[in-house]
Amino acid sequence: MILTGTYIFNGPRAAVWDLLQDPAVLAKALPGTKTLTRTADDQYHGVMKVSVGPVTAAEFAVNVELKDKVPPEKFSMQIDGKGAVGFTKGTATIDLQEQPGPVTVMNYSSDVQIGGKIAGVGQRLLESVGKMMTKQALEALNRELQSRLGKQ
Amino acid sequence: MIAKISIDVIVNGLRRRREVEPRLLLSDFIRQDLGLTGTHVGCEHGVCGACTILFDGEPARSCIMLSVQADGHEIQTIEHLAGPSGELNPLQTAFRHEHGLQCGFCTPGLLMTLTAFLRDTPNPTEPEIRDALSANLCRCTGYHHIVEAVKLASRSTLP
Amino acid sequence: MPAEARYLSARVLRNEDARLLTGRALFVDDVQIEGMLHVAFVRSEHAHGRLKGVDVSAAMRRLGVVAVYTAEDLGDYWRAGPLLVPPPPIPNLVFHACTQVPLAKDKVRHVGEAIAMIVAENRYVAEDAIRDVVVDIEPLDAVVDLEKGLAPGAPLIHEQLTSNAAAHVVQRKGDYASARKKADLVVKRRFFYDRGAAAAIENRAIAVNWDPKAEELTIWDTTQAPIPIRNGLAKMLGLLESQVNVIAPFVGGGFGPKIMMFYPEEVLLPWAAIRLSRPLKWTEDRQENFYATTQERGQVHDAEMAFTREGRILGVHDVFLFDTGAYDPYGLTIPINSQCTLLGPYDIPNYESEFTAVFTNKTIVTPVRGAGRQHGVFVSERLLDIAARELRIDRVEIRKRNLLGPDRFPHNHEIMFQDSAPLVYDSGNYLPTLEQAVDLIGYDKFIKDEQPRLRAEGKHVGIGVVCYVEGTGIGPYEGARVTVEPSGKVRVATGVGTQGQGHFTVFAQLVADALGVDVEDVRVVTGDTREFHWGTGTFASRGAVVAGSACHAAAMAVREKILRLGSSLLNVTPEQLELRGGQVRVIGANGAAIGLGELSGLANPLRGAVRPGTEPGLESTAYFGPDRGSTASGVHAMIIEVDPETAMVEIKRYLVAHDCGTIINPLIVEGQIHGGVAQGIGNAFYEQLVYDEQGQLLNASFMDYLIPTATDVPRVETAHRETPSPFNPIGLKGVGEAGCIPTGALFAQAVEDALSDLGVEITEIPLSPNRLFELIESAKAAGK
């Protein structure tokens, strides 16, 4: 499954970058995240609950490794998830560009392989669920950004 | 162990009380706890219709219901259709007469669906019959003889 | 057949229906035994990978779990399954047997391959424990596409081989190369034909009871072949065959995959039941069925047909790839069926056919109703249609010009069939069947009047007419025992399993006719090795032909006993006797008579003597083994309307004119045809198993894998013709697969006809509204 898109944050790039490196913020922003902890430099472990069509509230243990970091411009992620109903495996890249405002334009793209039960019964819905979760996460992050900027 | 819940259900006219796990499917309750194995399970996701029963008189998929949902309700299964000494009712007779079944696995679900259908639509047209059948999958017959059986049953005098 | 036959060819209602209609018929999942444990399987989520480890410790600690087994626990019992169908003796044939294993060890080769077996107090707990098992798999690239799978450097599925080629076979008759040089026209195309899931509404199930005191094992199995299962399991388990009973009770649809034998679950449950001394049951769920029950998959044909200007076929050349899935236990039955059935009812003097079977990281492929025949029919019928267009000959006319005439039988096609016997058509009369179909569907009137009129109204209507043959009723043999009981009722036992074909009725009809009893008084038992333990199984449209002939033979032997004993008791010659109304009686008014029940008592006295040279009772066992199969044939025709905007196809009429030799029961034959057509329509327009590039099946549920419903399938008109087979005493030919064999070819022709203004050419099946829409759009774009 390939997901690509663009999102505009209402704030400077450095602030967006900081946000994306903070597991506590990400845990709140990513839908269904139960836990997210840093296990080593640039390594995270989390537990997520995902619902796709007939598969409801399936838990995935997810390991994420950040790679190719060029602060505050771009980084990529190696994602490895495993659960009772299947697995996910893939990469994502995030690219941030600051524009006058200042606003930050995020270009993201991910290529994730899905296998097991969830692939067999949820395939039709996976892409729309993926898009929906991405949108929810980005909007939550933008809200968090606004509240941080407001406090300054 | 998960605490069991007491349910009280009228099944084929008899009142049954059982302690069940809250996650027990209604289809498993009917087949295993009550031993009424005429209700069949073909897909466990409510598509094929083999597990159809009458729930308070209306067709329902017992494979996607929990047994606790049946508490205080009335259920009829395939075992309830024939007469007391096993004589076939007009719908069952029509199925035999028109060769409306082959392997017979989907048949109980079809008969339960059609029992309600013919009660509500006593003189159906062929498109109405096909529409009513379209929620039950049969892999053997191609439906042709089932349609004929429903037509025949609708012409008989139902008891 | 005795002169007084009253049931043969009659629309007799089925003996088995009352049990099925009232919920009293026993299916395997209905078996419940005190103390029974339930089984679930941990299955691979990866299509291809190295199995590094399986940690079952957490599952073992779960309350209610009784045992968890991996490949390591099986010890010597772990071994690859038998090669079920060895390849026929074809010169230079290459075949690599790589059969399935009970639990994966070292490697997984398709999604859904079993890795561990969990035994628990109930199914819910067993499934809970699945998620406790930690499976460590290092994923490998998957082989999904056939051509890529054969390319150098492709990932190797079976590492003891040098490529993913499972087999290579060439069959030839005549000299195609020379024939091609004389041709006025050669048409050549690439064809793709995929199949899907059999999708019987009953999933597979197996229940096992080991009686440690009697040392007897009883197995209830949804198999189409209970006797070979018993024999094979006895051998694997080190038991006498007589210690093992296999019962295939009512089986909720077979359609092929239940003839696959020694599935992992079938091998593991009996072993574990003995080990645990507890009854066990496993019932497949629908999702497992999509991964773990065999399927039939794609073929890619590069085929050409050479013609004279008049449309006479000079020869055919075909090279194809066949997807055999991750293992090949069923040998080459499917591709050889494709290879043979391509010849159809036509006179094809020169033929060269070459195929390569390819291992892929998909579920194992074994026959599904039709078993590769439809692939061959699709290729030849499509090439005929294309040639007809190019030569400006009518589609029906080009077929008429090439049909084998009635004087050409027996017809030897000079190549080997799947049963290791030469492909010889026993009998047939093809032209009248085609003419009847053309007449009944109103082909000429449709082409001349209706189609132009409807097209003028803007409707895209089309007609299709295609021919097929079906090799049926192959050996080796079946048997039956017929017994007249003291009640006067008759008991028939035979070995084949039954999955809805009406065996309880058609066998009873044959026996009732031979013995002059009512068909309701004949009780048939099938698929229970305690009752009868010689035979093979229900496949290749052979139940009625082979087991039916055995029932007939056994009944005729009992009839002889009745006549002999009756003549001595009634003091007349056997010729003066008839069997009627459950009695043997002297022909003529007021003739003396003895009831068969009484006679059976007299044949089995408690005192006195049974005469030397005779046997007690009125019972006989007989076997029937045909030298080779009998070839049924037919024509399908349909009229459709296509909506070019939505690409939906509405079937206006569907007609099958067919010849399956002598018909035992037209009602049942029609049912077989209707159901076959419905599966054929599913194959042509609704059903496809979609795999991604990593071998993940993407539509493993009835929500996404669409089986035709009552609104998708039309009424099916039928016309029966009977050209009796000389290979069995009643003249029977099989009919089980006739409905689904030419449906894809028919669909393609009718859709092309309906869209002829757009110039859509169809070289693939299944279509779907989506795919047809794409074809319409690309035809429109090309036409601009």
pLDDT digits (tens, 9 = 90+) for B114-147: 999 999 999 999 999 999 999 999 999 999 999 9
| pLDDT the model gives residue C746 | 98
Cβ atoms within 10 Å of C128's Cβ, excluding its own: 19
**8 Å CB contact of A113 and C694:** yes
Closest residue in chain A to residue C127, using alpha carbons only: A84
Burial string for A35-49 (b: 16+ CB within 10 Å, else e) reads ebeeeeeeebebbbe
Q: How many CB pairs under 8 A join A and C?
A: 47
Burial string for C672-711 (b: 16+ CB within 10 Å, else e) reads bbbbbbbbbbbbbbbbbbebbebbbbbbbbbbbbbbbbbe
- What is the CA angle C247-C365-C705, rounded to 5? 90
Q: Indicate the range of A1-15, A46-60, C684-698 predicted with least confidence.
A: A46-60
Chain C: closest CA distance from residue B97 (Å)? 6
Mean pLDDT for chain B overall: 95
**8 Å CB contact of C674 and B1:** no
Sort out which chain A residues have CB atoms less than 8 A from C290's CB and list them. Answer: 120
DSSP assignments along C218-233, one per residue: EEEE--S-HHHHHHHH
Strand ranges inside C141-239, DSSP E: 165-173, 185-193, 205-211, 216-221
- Encode pLDDT of C668-679 as tens digits: 999 999 999 999
**8 Å CB contact of C201 and B105:** yes
| pLDDT the model gives residue B158 | 47
CA B158 to CA C569: how far, in whole Å?
52
Chain C: closest CA distance from residue B79 (Å)? 6
**8 Å CB contact of C500 and B40:** no
Helix ranges (DSSP H) in chain B? 26-28, 90-97, 107-120, 126-133, 144-155
Distances from the Cα of C72 to the Cα of B11, C75, C98, C107, C119, angstroms = 47, 6, 20, 13, 16
Q: Which residues contact C608 (CB under 8 A, 6 or more apart)?
A: none
| pLDDT the model gives residue C649 | 96
Instruction: Name the residue type at position C757.
Output: D
**8 Å CB contact of C696 and A120:** yes
| pLDDT the model gives residue C661 | 95
- Examine the pLDDT at C413 and tell me if it is beyond 60: yes
CA C531 to CA C158: how far, in whole Å?
41
Q: Which two tokens stand for residue A68?
A: 């190719």
Sort out which chain B residues have CB atoms less than 8 A from C124's CB and list them. Answer: 21, 23-24
Question: Quick one: average pLDDT of C731-760?
Answer: 95
Chain B: closest CA distance from residue C702 (Å)? 6
Q: Which two tokens stand for residue A4?
A: 């690509």
Question: Quick one: average pLDDT of C586-591?
Answer: 86
> Is the CB of C70 inside 8 Å of chain B's CB atoms?
no
- Examine the pLDDT at B159 and tell me if it is beyond 50: no
Give me the residue from A53, A84, A89 closest to C131, CB to CB.
A84
- What is the CA angle C63-C66-C68, rounded to 5? 110
- Examine the pLDDT at C609 and tell me if it is beyond 70: no
- Per 3-state DSSP, what percentage of chain B is helix, strand, and coil (rounded to 5)? 40, 15, 45
Within 13 A of B94's CA, how many CA atoms are on the CB side? 22
Closest residue in chain B to residue C250, using alpha carbons only: B103
**8 Å CB contact of C696 and A87:** no
Question: Quick one: average pLDDT of C347-365?
Answer: 98
- Examine the pLDDT at C4 and tell me if it is beyond 70: no
Mean pLDDT for chain A overall: 89
> Is the CB of C697 inside 8 Å of chain A's CB atoms?
yes
Chain C: closest CA distance from residue A83 (Å)? 8
Q: Indicate the range of A115-119, C61-65, C74-78, C285-289 predicted with least confidence.
A: A115-119
Lateral strand order in the sheet of C107-108: C107-108, C49-55, C134-139
Which of C468, C381, C464, C466 is closest to C755 using CA atoms? C464
> Is the CB of C242 inside 8 Å of chain A's CB atoms?
no
8 A C-beta contact, residue C251 and residue B103: yes
Q: Which two tokens stand for residue C552?
A: 């007939």
* pTM score, whole prediction: 0.95
Sort out which chain A residues have CB atoms less than 8 A from C698's CB and list them. Answer: 119-120, 123
**8 Å CB contact of A123 and C698:** yes
**8 Å CB contact of A120 and C46:** no
CA C120 to CA C111: how far, in whole Å?
24
Burial string for C157-192 (b: 16+ CB within 10 Å, else e) reads bbeeeebbbbbebebebeebeebbeebeebbeeebb
Peptide bond connecting C152 to the previous residue in cis, omega within 30 degrees of 0: no
Strand ranges inside A21-85, DSSP E: 33-40, 43-52, 55-70, 74-83
- Encode pLDDT of C161-181 as tens digits: 999 999 999 999 999 999 999
Instruction: Name the residue type at position B99.
Output: H
Q: Residues of chain B with pLDDT > 90: what percent?
A: 94
Sort out which chain A residues have CB atoms less than 8 A from C703's CB and list them. Answer: 53-54, 121
CA C543 to CA C501: how far, in whole Å?
9
Sort out which chain B residues have CB atoms less than 8 A from C655's CB and list them. Answer: none
Helix ranges (DSSP H) in chain A? 13-20, 23-29, 117-151
- C614 Cα distance to chain centroid: 41
CA A67 to CA A110: how far, in whole Å?
14
* DSSP-based three-state secondary structure for C5: coil
Strands B74-76 and B52-55: antiparallel
Give me the residue from C123, C254, C715 closest to B144, CB to CB.
C715
Which of C426, C368, C440 is closest to C676 using CA atoms? C368
**8 Å CB contact of A123 and C704:** yes
Which of C192, C163, C165 is closest to C298 using CA atoms? C192
Q: Which residues contact C169 (CB under 8 A, 6 or more apart)?
A: C87, C90, C93, C94, C95, C332, C335, C336, C339, C354, C355
Q: Report chain C's terminal Cα–Cα distance, integer Å.
A: 66
Which of C63, C53, C72 is closest to C133 using CA atoms? C53
ipTM: 0.97
Which of C624, C620, C621 is closest to C476 using CA atoms? C624
**8 Å CB contact of C286 and B44:** yes
Total residue count of chain B as it appears in this document: 159
Chain B: closest CA distance from residue C214 (Å)? 27
8 A C-beta contact, residue C762 and residue C778: no
Within 13 A of C135's CA, how many CA atoms are on the CB side? 35
Question: Quick one: average pLDDT of C197-223?
Answer: 97
> Is the CB of C705 inside 8 Å of chain A's CB atoms?
no
> Is the CB of C196 inside 8 Å of chain B's CB atoms?
no
- Encode pLDDT of B94-118 as tens digits: 999 999 999 999 999 999 999 999 9
Residue ranges of C 226-255 with Cβ closer than 8 A to chain B: 250-255
CA C460 to CA C455: how far, in whole Å?
6
Q: Which of C14, C16, C19, C21 to mutate to test the interface with B (most CBs of B within 10 A)?
A: C21
Indicate the pLDDT class of residue C419, thresholds 50, 70 and 90: confident
**8 Å CB contact of A120 and C698:** yes
**8 Å CB contact of C20 and B81:** no
| pLDDT the model gives residue B1 | 60
Indicate the pLDDT class of residue A23, thresholds 50, 70 and 90: confident
- C774 Cα distance to chain centroid: 33
Helix ranges (DSSP H) in A5-116? 13-20, 23-29
Q: Which two tokens stand for residue C633?
A: 């044939």
Q: Residues of chain C with pLDDT > 70: what percent?
A: 99
Give me the residue from C287, C699, C704 closest to A117, CB to CB.
C287
CA A65 to CA A77: how far, in whole Å?
5
**8 Å CB contact of C139 and A89:** yes
| pLDDT the model gives residue C473 | 87
CA C759 to CA C776: how far, in whole Å?
9
- Examine the pLDDT at C628 and tell me if it is beyond 50: yes
Instruction: Give the torsion through C-alpha atoms of A31, A53, C133, C43, to 10 deg.
Output: -140
Q: Which of B81, B139, B146, B148 to mutate to test the interface with C (most CBs of C within 10 A)?
A: B139
Sort out which chain A residues have CB atoms less than 8 A from C699's CB and list them. Answer: 120, 123-124
Residues facing C483 on adjacent strands: C491, C619
Question: Quick one: average pLDDT of C691-717?
Answer: 95
**8 Å CB contact of C698 and A117:** no
Strand ranges inside C576-629, DSSP E: 577-580, 583-586, 593-595, 618-624
| pLDDT the model gives residue C2 | 59
**8 Å CB contact of C111 and A89:** no
Q: Which residues contact C19 (CB under 8 A, 6 or more apart)?
A: C25, C250
Question: Quick one: average pLDDT of C187-192?
Answer: 98
* DSSP-based three-state secondary structure for C553: helix
CA C331 to CA C79: how far, in whole Å?
18
Region class of C94: left (phi > 0), else alpha (psi between -120 and 50), else beta: beta
- Encode pLDDT of C279-308 as tens digits: 999 999 999 999 999 999 999 999 999 999
* DSSP-based three-state secondary structure for C745: helix
| pLDDT the model gives residue C3 | 54
**8 Å CB contact of B103 and C502:** no
8 A C-beta contact, residue B153 and residue B88: no
> Is the CB of C501 inside 8 Å of chain B's CB atoms?
yes
| pLDDT the model gives residue A123 | 76
Closest residue in chain A to residue C136, using alpha carbons only: A82
CA C731 to CA B110: how far, in whole Å?
36
